[in-house]
Amino acid sequence: MRVATLGIIVRDGRVYLGYKKKGVEEISDIINGPGGKQEPGETLEECLIRETFDEMGIRLSADKLVKIAVITFFAGGVADFEVHVYWTDYFEGELVETKSMVPKSYPVDQLPFDEMLEGDVVWFAKTVRGETFNAHVYYKERAKDFERIEFFPFTP
């Protein structure tokens, strides 16, 4: 199972997301937060900081990251991705378009759910509010044909 990170950046009533040019296993045309696969020898926080800079051009700080969720994504009943979700209201720099993302901020009460993966609609608003949870998200195939989601008490 692959391990990845996802950043939920909320500041001044806005959520910092982006249009993925190249996303989850080549799935594009979706809006999501910054993040990606952990590289060997890298901590989860280092992964998120690297991915956020690569995707949005902004710098996060490890001491300002709060882990709020662990979401395991299943494809065809098999655990496929374990995503560690971090919340922050801190970053340095300005958003810039990169080779993998077109970043944009959205009001917290106007999230672009119609441009997200179907399963994300169920859990994403919880992360924006900083709620903690663990979840299992089931798809028939990787990120296709959403089936269901199960929530569990948070255990980092």
The neighbour count for residue 49, using CB atoms within 10 Å, is 23
Instruction: Classify residue 154: in a domain, yes or no.
Output: no
Instruction: Classify residue 36: in a domain, yes or no.
Output: yes
pLDDT at 28 over 70: no
Query: pLDDT digit string (tens) for 70-96?
Result: 999 999 999 999 999 999 999 999 999
Work out the mean pLDDT of the chain and round it to a whole number: 94
What are 79's two structure tokens?
Answer: 């655990």
Q: What is the span of the domain harbouring residue 99?
A: 2-148
Instruction: Classify residue 156: in a domain, yes or no.
Output: no
> Nearest CA to 103 among 82, 84, 46, 112?
112
Instruction: Classify residue 155: in a domain, yes or no.
Output: no
Instruction: Classify residue 69: in a domain, yes or no.
Output: yes
Per the structure, the count of domains in the chain is 1
- pLDDT value at position 25? 52
| C-beta separation of 94 from 58 below 8 A | yes
Instruction: Classify residue 73: in a domain, yes or no.
Output: yes
Separation of alpha carbons 17 and 133, rounded Å: 21
pLDDT at 120 over 90: yes
| C-beta separation of 108 from 128 below 8 A | yes
Instruction: Classify residue 153: in a domain, yes or no.
Output: no
The CATH number of residue 38's host domain is 3.90.79.10
- Please give the model's pTM, rounded to 2 decimal places: 0.94
Instruction: Classify residue 49: in a domain, yes or no.
Output: yes
Residues whose CB falls within 8 Å of the CB of residue 12, separated by 6 or more in sequence, listed in order:
none
